[in-house]
Chain A
Amino acid sequence: MGTAPASKDVAILEIANLSLSFGGVQALMDISLEVKQGEVLAIIGPNGAGKTSLLNCMNGFYRAQQGDISFQGKGISKMPSHKIAELGIARTFQQIELYTHLSAQDNLMAGRHIHFKSGMLDGALYFGKAHREEIEHRKAVENIIDLFDMEAIRKKVVGFLPYGQRKLVELGRAVVMEPKLLLLDEPMAGMNVEEKEDMARFILDIWELKGTTIVLIEHDMGVVMDIADRIVVLDFGRKIAEGTPQEIQTNPAVISAYLGQE
């Protein structure tokens, strides 16, 4: 692991007393945590612990009944998802959610959406502003294609790509948005060891080159212990532990959540 770029002890995202329930099911209970600028924070926990629900609250996909979320000091718990994206939070999904009929390159171009300035009339006439903008953003897209070794699949329609490559396109689409905070929901699920190593390398590349703060959910403990600066453990909607990988490995509450008690 490298040294954290621009690692300050400043919180980029603060969650305070967050509670979320679906009818009678309490998905999240009184969760408070901070994501620090420039860190890689892993959220782990057994199945159904509320990890994805927590991520969904962070980007406005779920509305928590109680509690507050603030991003760089700005309250975002009432904001619609697309506004949160404009503030600089991007994410990937556990089940891949791509624009199936577009090529990999166009998926990434669509990921640049928030950086486009031209209006409908510019687009309709095309000459001038819209054309310049297409080229300018195409360059940003090509940088990511280069970084993730996607040259060969650039023009392929993503619906027909194999699983691992679709996962990569989705990561690319989130990164090309140039977010300040990147939320990754099980980026390595269903991958073999080699693909996981590639993915871990790409995630660390983003973190190192772009200084993006990363929150990731992952089940592979080897990966989590290797790349995370800090770990938050959830169990049945509660936060049961928080700390460095070393602290988490020896935490009795975590061990009992994963392995049961004697």
Chain B
Amino acid sequence: MHNPCGVFNETYEQDLAIFRTKTQWGLLIGAIIIAFTFPLFLNSYILGVLIQIFATIIILHGLNILTGYCGQISLAQAAFAAVGGYTSALLSEWALGAALPEWFPGIFNFWITVPIAGLTAGAIGVLFGIPALRLRGFYLVMATLAAHFIIIYIIVHTIGTQAQTLPAPHLFGLLLNNSQSYYYVVLVALIALSYVAKNLVRTRFGRAWIAIRDNDLAAEVMGISLFRYKLSAFFIGCLFAGLGGALWAHYTRSITPEYYHLTYGLWYLGYIIVGGMGSALGPFFGASFLIILTQGLAEVISALSGTFYGIESYLSAAREVLFGLVVVLFMILEPRGIAHRWNLFKAYYRLFPYAH
């Protein structure tokens, strides 16, 4: 991390700051203000895409901590998002249906069920993280693949494949049941959870996770309990998956197990590879870039279908093909993802027009 020319860190506080200069703070606050004005002029379709990107970034923060920082590759992120979505759905349904005292149904509302959904996903994540204490690399990938199938199997065979409906949240008497209003909920959650994710990786836990990823042998000898820190990475990773999954489920208002297909678990890994694994900005870049790219492709295809009759059926797999191509190209050309390019760009801009 470099400061602009002429800016020196003279205290540890300055050295630890994420946003060091007034310009950086200005850009951050400006970006947040602009993000808050989006519902005023964007249509529901674009807001829907943005909500999808934001919820995905929250899920990716978790996967980034688990895989990018702690080195525990997981294919089960979609299943943990499912745990979040279904926990919130079932709790809301139960609170509506059960014969509870007058004051009770109000408590199990959106604002309570979503955090509970996150914690439930985290707890189940810890359970499935236990094999990680013995397994590494490829074998752990297989174990998380099994975790995905087990979780989805349990959901299908206890809850069923029929659509599960979720209520829209209320806030101060307002019903947040459209894209314009729900956008704010997801935006605030994204800002808060991104702050949490960044703080976790720059303090004690983050360093312990990186230590385990880079050299688990040395980490153990230097006093880092592999048991505690691997499981804590699973907890945080799956907590974020649960929160993101529940937020997304309350937007679609109806979920089926198909929403959490294994493909999404693989896509999430692809997102963080493209965005930049082990970088707090990686999820932002990966999700924005790939979701906009694939949505754009879908738009182009549907626009062409008027002229070229039946083109949609020929190009039905175009999204997957493009996605796979982008991931492969990134792994070959820029394995450290867009986040690394961004850092190079910043370094270039800082020194412009000189090379050094």
Contacts and interface: CB of A to CB of B under 8 A. Distances in A.
A131 B14 CA distance: 12
Given A100-B214, A113-B207, A125 B222 contact: no
Query: Which of under 10, 10 to 19, 20 to 34, or 35 or more describes the interface residues of A?
Result: 35 or more
B211 A99 contact: yes
Interface stretch (B134-142, B158-166, B195-203): B195-203
A173 B211 CA distance: 12
Contact of A85 (B1, B214, B217, B223): B223
Q: Chain A binding site: helix, strand, loop or mixed by DSSP?
A: helix
A101 B206 CA distance: 13
B16 interface: yes
Contacts of A98: 214-215, 218
Given A81-B220, A82-B224, A100-B215, A113 B208 contact: yes
Interface residues of B, number: 33
Given A59-B221, A85-B222, A97 B203 contact: no
A110 B223 CA distance: 10
A123 interface: yes
Q: Chain B binding site: helix, strand, loop or mixed by DSSP?
A: helix
A101 B214 contact: yes
A236 interface: no
B208 A118 contact: no
Contact of A82 (B214, B215, B223): B223
Contact of A102 (B1, B15, B207, B221): B207
Given A101-B214, A110-B210, A123 B204 contact: yes
A3 B16 CA distance: 40
Contacts of B203: 118, 122-123, 126, 130, 133-134
B305 interface: no
A132 B214 CA distance: 27
Contacts of A123: 199-200, 203-206
Interface in A183-203: none
25 contacts: A82-B220, A82-B221, A82-B226, A85-B222, A85-B223, A99-B211, A101-B210, A109-B207, A111-B222, A113-B208, A113-B222, A113-B224, A114-B222, A118-B203, A118-B204, A120-B200, A123-B200, A123-B205, A124-B200, A125-B196, A130-B199, A130-B203, A135-B12, A135-B13, A138-B16
Given A82-B224, A134-B12, 8 more contacts: A61-B217, A61-B221, A82-B222, A91-B221, A93-B218, A97-B221, A120-B200, A123-B199
Interface of B: 1, 12-13, 15-16, 196, 199-200, 202-208, 210-211, 213-215, 217-226, 232, 236, 278
